[in-house]
Amino acid sequence: MTPSAPFPAPPNEPEEYLCCHRHCSPCIKDYYREALARWKLAVSEQGGDPDAVLKALGRAG
């Protein structure tokens, strides 16, 4: 499949100011990483390349 195939939208990375930098567990960034991993799995299961989709959207993987 091509990156333009209809895949679910990837999660948005939280803005840096949303993290309090107090080493919370879990941190808002942990939630983002978990959501991104679930999104990558969903795209892969649909036959897509998550990194190619992110690249097409102008985002890093």
Percentage of the chain with pLDDT > 90? 82
- The mean pLDDT of the chain is 90
pLDDT tens-digit series, residues 19-45: 999 999 999 999 999 999 999 999 999
pLDDT higher than 80, residue 2: no
Question: Does residue 57 have a pLDDT over 60?
Answer: yes
Predicted confidence (pLDDT) at residue 60 exceeds the cutoff of 60: yes
- How far apart, in whole angstroms, are the C-alpha atoms of residue 2 and residue 29? 29
| Residues 43, 11 contacting (CB under 8 angstroms) | no
Q: Where are the domains of the chain?
A: 16-56
Q: What is the pLDDT of residue 1?
A: 44
